[in-house]
Chains A and B, each alone.
Chain A
């Protein structure tokens, strides 16, 4: 059997083991590979910087546990940190039942907790927890916040939360930051929130897999900007100067994983081209 045919017949578990080792090495010792910052991340940062004092921002934590553990957790923590450093009001909410408990996990991050020190719950930020109904829930919330959400995550009535007195519908929000895994997410917010409040600015932190579709919404001006998956999260952390060694290790590991996949693609296609002639040109 030729070298290429032997290579093609290699056990898949060897490939999996190579992946474990290639990703594990940078997680054990960071390589500190350089990182360039994309214009989209800069624009995301600028949009939050430009928020006027007293602006009300909705923070949609529409994530699954898997998405949060991978790319969206760093995005959410960096965004929450940035928002808490501004003199604005934040309404945390989620249309994913799995995303709602992760709002408190974001608050536990040391940078976010530090930025929250001078903020008062009920006056500067609230957590409205989970709202069911996906897109219908978004529409109901957009029309009448108080009718849709009777209480916050601890059961406190909205009447007992001072900042909610002036927040009755989507028209009272200046910006929506949506950290999304999938549906419901950005497009659903566009259809139900931005369609009702054309002045609502939208920033979206998305998984890498959603970036190609989100670029179209960004190009049309419906989103101001997006964070592009794990890379966008790391870039944002660099801008905010809150990047940790663990984040650097993750970034290096992401590079190694891409290099491994590219090498496999190259080897696989070289093997195909080499054996194509031996098969008599058959596809």
Chain B
């Protein structure tokens, strides 16, 4: 019985917050503000709670039990974050930031060189520009596609690297390549738009499916929110007049 009550209450709470958020599409109202403030509060509180749990058992516990006292160093340096709020001791806040930025930057740069730069360049350069299948023979569409990819990648890079067209005969070449790059990116962004529509609609469909678990909560709360929002809107109009 307790589990059923918790599940039913959960369905109503879910519907309240989801419909409260969607009520913004009707008009700005108290339910939306309530949902918005609840979202901010719970998100930050959740992050703070998991952070506490991690620090407590990964760093504090080994220091207290004596298993690894070296964790005292990150605990002390991490605590320096609090000086963000001090004008006099703000300089202390820079030390943990420096360590985090330096380490993160070093790791990201190292990995970027191979994973994002070299591998992509090698994949482009290694594209076979004359595709022959052992069984089917010459493959004209695959060959054409590889040529197109090769030219389009160079065109896109030319668009970014030569965004100021140099005043020389080279300028004509880079300008044309940049134009190819621009059209390539228009097609790419169109594809990105189409995929974005799919993602956003699926996000909405996911919530809609959950709302339909119980029609009473869905329709009841929706009606309540619409009425309250309409009344608030009318009151705001009257006070403005």
Contacts and interface: CB of A to CB of B under 8 A. Distances in A.
B58 A220 contact: no
**Chain B binding surface, main DSSP class:** helix
B38 interface: no
A221 B202 contact: no
Interface in B192-219: 192, 195-199, 201-210, 212
Contact of A69 (B51, B198, B206): B206
Contacts of A134: 104
Interface in B159-212: 188, 191-192, 195-199, 201-210, 212
A276 interface: no
Interface string A192-230: 101100000000000111011000100111100000111
A190 B110 CA distance: 11
A122 interface: no
A155 B51 CA distance: 15
Contacts of B208: 23-24, 27, 253
A176 B205 CA distance: 29
A187 interface: yes
Interface string A63-80: 000110111010000000
A190 B212 contact: no
A249 B202 CA distance: 12
A95 B130 CA distance: 43
Q: Report the interface size class on chain B.
A: 35 or more
A246 B209 contact: yes
Contacts, number: 138
Given A70-B202, A212-B195, A231-B198, A190 B111 contact: yes
Interface in A220-246: 220-222, 228-231, 246
B123 A230 contact: no
B199 A97 contact: no
Interface residues of A, number: 55
Interface stretch (A42-50, A82-90, A254-262): A254-262
Interface of B: 25-26, 46-47, 50-51, 54, 57-58, 100, 103-104, 107-108, 110-112, 114-116, 119-120, 122-123, 188, 191-192, 195-199, 201-210, 212
Q: Considering the complex of A and B, which 9 residue pairs feature the smallest CB-CB distances, nearest first? A: A191-B111, A220-B123, A208-B198, A69-B206, A70-B203, A257-B201, A208-B199, A190-B115, A230-B202
20 contacts: A69-B203, A69-B206, A70-B204, A71-B198, A71-B203, A98-B46, A130-B54, A136-B107, A139-B107, A190-B115, A191-B110, A191-B111, A208-B197, A208-B202, A220-B120, A220-B123, A249-B209, A250-B205, A253-B201, A258-B198
